[in-house]
Structure 1
Amino acid sequence: MQAPDIPTNEARRLQALRDLEVLDTPAEESFDRLTELAREIFGVPVALISLIDTQRQWFKSHPGVDACETGLDVSFCAHAVADDDTLVVTDLTDSRFADNPLVAGAPHIRFYAGHPLRPLDDMPVGTLCLLDYHPRTFSAHERRLLAGLAGQAEALLRQNKLSADLAHTAKRFETIFFTSATAKVRIDRNGRMIAINPFALNLLGYVESDVVGQNVAMLAPPDIHPHHDGYIQRYLDGHEPRVIGKGREVEAMHKDGHRVPVHLAINAIHDEHGQVEEFLGVLTDLRDIQAANRRIQKEQALLSVLHQGITDYQALMSGKKLWTFLMEALRELTDSDYALIGEVLPGDNGNALKVHAITDLAWSPSSRQLMEQLRSGNMMFTRADTLLGRVYAQGEVVMTDDLYQHPQRGGLPPGHPVLDNYLGVPIYSGSELIGMYAISNSRQTLDQSLLHWLEPFTATCALLINLYRQMAERDQVLQDLAHAHDQAQRANQAKSEFLSSMSHELRTPLNAILGFAQLLASGRREPLSDKQTRQVNQIEKSGQHLLSLINEVLDLAKIESGHMPLSLETITLAHVIEDVCQTLEPSAEASGIRLACTPPPAESQVCADYTRVKQVLFNLISNAIKYNSPNGSIQITAAPRDDALSVSVTDTGPGIAAHRRHELFEPFNRLDAENGPVEGTGIGLAITRELVERMGGIIDVDSAPGEGSTFWFTLPRSNEDAAARAHGEATRPASEFQQQTLIYVEDNPANQRLMEDIIDDVDGLVLRTAPSAEMGLELLRITPAALVMMDIHLPGMDGYQALAAIRRDPHLQALPVVALSASAMQRDINKALDAGFDAYLTKPLEIAKLMATLKRYVIT
């Protein structure tokens, strides 16, 4: 037989079936009468009320069939439920049902008609169905009759559900009423008690026979008794209720005559017609609550003090109100006239008490002066043989209700206020005595219970005294740190200014040296002889070496001061390795060194600064070239290492002894190579290590004398997809410039001459020079220019002031202005770019960078 479809709302349908609570319940006459009626109306041998469960169909009523359930594999009703529609099959031998065992075999069912039952939430849970052993027709009128009977079946199912719910509710109510830990009384409309639960009987001292059938007024105090029936009647007459439906605190009468404080709530219970059927009174015993409230009121005052002390301690300490706050809180908590609190300070001759706060006991000008000294913390108590001394010197609790008869009472001067009682309490932090407080003239009994109650206050005092001391120490440390920080800032500023000045002063003459050396070497109009070429190359080489010294010293200084900026991004490591190898390959060939590069896969990426990674590789490979053996080789490889990529530079040089490897990365330490033929500063590896570590990697060396060295470093991997990167700026073809003017503002004649010689070889570009910013601005007003290039440090108006003047002029403000300065510190570059310069070139001038800048800003 074809299996029925599973409804899309099957979970909700099954939940509706469960909610009926009818499955597997006994047969009921009301359901059987309905199915018998269906058999008679339609003249069929079988009529069923069938409910479709997950794996079976169960019959609530099944006249004509002995079985009470079947599997779904033979169920016709499951099809009607799945389709949620009336199902009529006039002859079950059709293709859908012919192989059903109940059709093919006994009892040979031939006809089926079923209408879905939807008693809850419009969910089909089963059918009212008809079965016959002969094929037959089923008219539209018969369909309507079947639907009507199905509606009656739905009503019976809903009624059955309601009856079950009512039974559950009654059972729950009975359980709640009689087993509740709250007193409950049922009262009829006339005020008589219908029932009372055990808790109420125990609360009021009665037995059930004493109260059931009696007027509930018997449980009220005599002053309420006459009015009790009136409250019920007023409610029944529709007046505004005074008690019913409004909970309030009242007193109930115990059988022995004493009053019991209770919370009384009376609720009216209505029948199905909305009429009041009875009342339910709920009494909650308030004796423990009222006792607790009295304790809570006392505790709240203490907690308020503790809370404010803990949460507002910073404000209290910063405003120097902590000690007064604690002293006043102590006085109010203990209802005392006088209180004091102080800090115990150890000394060579024993403990002393520094009083920080004390109630004013002044009665004369001299005593008032004494009080002022005590409150300001400028007076110490040091005598150990007094009532105070026993506390702060010996750590004892001192308690007396007869201060004047106490053997250790000190004499009080004439006019001193009367002191009746006294309590002195030491304040400990662990085993260390750190303070004490004392009260006098307390209106509470001084005993151990009071002392125990004050323990949280004492503990809070200990905490706050420790915080007070720590904050005092912290304030002193902060003052020291602030002073040290100011000194460091001044030293750092002086260092930065020195480096900036040194950079400017050294680069300015180098600009002319290297610039003219480059011009002489590349001069086309007056070529040099071979000897002159060697001499010029030596000049340029020495100048470049001096420039590298300056750059490395400045780089190391910037790293040490934390001013070396890094731009961490996802970079493809293979590109950087390839870039550096191509740059250094001619240098390796010139030195007779074979350079072999095995880069990582193209997709290998790291999170690093492209320029700084290139600098690291350049330093390591340059060292491998300089310190290699004749006809040696260098191998560059890369491989994964944990969550990083490792790059190794292996040379065939003399190697390094193990006991000297730690010196490699020390600044200015060249391991005695300073006496050899190879030039160097000894700080390249120090910079390299700092750069690698700041990018999150590590660097080290593996080497042995006579076996060469392998310098390796790691960089953290990046999981980002490789992005296409253009390492270099697209520039226009090196075609000739149109006839345009470049204005160069420079006060140094050598630098002016250098720029003239450079531009002299550029066709179509005219150079106009000005020795000051003022003259440059005048020149701009009379000469149309395509670009301005100016030094920063100029006589009179400096480069920043000149730039501001250009940007203020509406005719000049769009003109590109490029800074050209010997100040090469990053902060100098950033300052200039932030000020509005379009680009920044440094001296010594690199002609290639100058030409790229010209092509970027000058229209061709």
Structure 2
Amino acid sequence: MLRSDPADSLPSPERRGPADRRLTSLRAVLDSAADGVLVVDGDGEIAEANAKLLPLWRLPDAARHGPAAALFAAMAAQLANPRHYLFDPARMLVDPRLEVCALVELTDGRVFEVRSSPHRGAAGRIWWFRDVTSWRQAEAELVERNRRIALGNDIGAAVVAGGTLRQVLQRCAEAILQHLGGAFARIWLLDEVENVLTLEASAGLHTGLTGRYSRIPVGRAKIGGIARSRVPHLTNDLLNDPLLADPAWARQAGMVAFAGYPLVFEGRLVGVVAMFADRPLSATVLDSLLACADRLAIAVARAWSETEVRESEGRFRLLAEAAEEGIVIHDHGVLIDANPSFSRLLGYAADDLPGRRISDFLQLPEAEKADETAALGWYEQPRELLGRHRDGSSVPLEVAARSISRGGRELWVLVIRDLSDRKHLEEQTIQLATERAALTRAGFLARASHELGSSLDSGATYAATARLAVPTLADFAVAFCLEGDHVADASATHADPGHEAVLREVASGLVGETGDGPARDVGALVRGTDEGATHSGLLAELRRRLPPELEPRLIGCLPLAASGSTVGLLVLGVTDTDRDLDASTMALAEELAFRAGSALENSRLFDAAVHATQARDDLLGIVAHDLRNPLNLIGNAAELILDGIFSGNPEAEQRHLQIIRRAAGQMNRLIADLLDAKRIETGGLDIDPRPESAATLLADALNFMGPLAESNGLRLTAEAQEGLPPVSIDPGRIQQVFSNLVGNAVKFTPRGGSIHLTAESDGDHLRVAVRDTGPGIAPEQLPNVFNRFWQADKDRRGIGLGLTIARAIVEAHRGRIWVE
């Protein structure tokens, strides 16, 4: 349907002035705006306020009347910064050219985007208000997640970079400070002999490693207490912390928060990491610091183990013949002697070794091959190299060198250890450390990701979601699939196999439930033992139908979201008194729900890809089919003309040239329809409206389509209601609609039939109808008539884009098209 201006809604064109036209334009903008919109005139009075404005600010309807200053004052009272310049209309109206956009925070935690610009064509300004709270929260969560990832990467890089243990710890302390935003961070290691914590790394305000807290006995002060109890100490109220030894210092330095964690690896205390901050520490920061503590404990334990190994090597060096390590003596790179372990290590016989060069057995870097003595003698700390086994394989080795004097000649002793087992053990240790750092959370989520990603079937995803939740999160779980406002399917799992069949039966009985209950249940957490606990919707119905032996002590509900909308619900039930749906459990459940939603989104994308591929194949087939006939006509006619068949018969030659022209026109119309379909798909279908009378529209349609109807033995007539007002349309595009509608009627109406066009008023719209005496369309096929490439029968007559294009043109005019 096409919108027209009712005669009694606005002044006549002779009396309608520029102000009326501007007001009409402004009201049209307000009616279509998705945000709260406020228009203030040059005198500071409220000119317009759309329906979304006052509910957005939670203000009564009376606030829309009166001066703008009062309304802005009511808005500013809700701001964290009530003096924000955007809410001072007198100030904003001073400069009519000023365009401003800013984010403001409300006292209730919401965040609004506020834009203000001059009202073009009239004195005054326009304000737009948009609630961007959820976007800001998502952005903050992403920043926190990226910060945790970056911190983990930097800690890992600091450990892998090598160097002394103190250097490694210093890099770790600096990374903690950089990413977690504390005032300073420190790391102490335990001297197990003296039972004293020694300061090994300090970053931030205090970088020195000496002073009052450089050596702390276990059990003394806050740090020593953490070491003795092996329990983290966390506070965001440092000045009132009874364990704080120097409150005056904390007050002077502005410290308000502290977090300290013991460094424990496999039950062994190795140290303490702590951070002071001048602002409260969030739960995310504390979780990140805990993860750092676990990784630091692993790194320290490994460094201690390596130190102990090196000291052990020194103590038993004289037992070379019995040592498992390979021991080699060389003179400027020429091997003099080697112990049996070296021979066994690289697969050589003892007699094959003397006189050969060390480079035959060790793979030195290219830069060091020129001087083997320097390469193998200048370092005393173990060095990792690859050895050449006799069978050609490479063996990871750790090589340490010592110089000795024999007969006045300097020789070098190499101690070589096979690192194959240690490399394997290191890999296992790193893997174990990672798993412990993430605890069961990482393992659970990894398993969840694997199972949810193993199928692109949405039904399997719902079933896997319920199965994964039990028993890690709850004693039973039900995953509901939602379609609109009703339950389409349900999958259930119970930790007790004896109860699972009953639970599944109850869940299946809820399929088809409708109403707004599911929406209200999202995020619900209900304790069955709470006095007066109430809940509604799906949770209430589920609990009502459960037998007494399955009655949950606690029940929770989380959304399963895909493409920004809720497509399902995950219900968790707890019956065991030793289990609880605490914050950590619900956080893990949210991660599961997020992954389930991602899996459902992947399923949707897969289905979309399959449909897109099918649509592409359909299009290629349709175009190939519908281009083949006119191409054959052109080819056949051209061949006959070129062969001279019609030489001397100009009339026959003209008929075949007309055939070529009609076939080319048919191909051109096909291509034009395809281009229009593409423009519709990309939102690029433009119209150029202007006033036009209904009678002219019908007359043009008769003139254009009349010959086609007549040539097919049909009668085409038109009738327009008297006194219809002009309608604002793009005449060319509307004639394209008539061409498609009348063309379809011509195709399917038997000879001798009729086609009738009518135009009449329908409220403030103009309704145009095309009626014919053809067979019509079956009722079950009506929903498909406007789909692309759809045909009512197997005898194709066109590519099936005409009605699709017609609907797009009508909707571009803010109208509606339908079939009866």
TM-score bracket for the superposition, by shorter chain length: under 0.3
Q: How does the TM-score come out when normalised to structure 1? A: 0.27
* Structure of greater Rg: 1
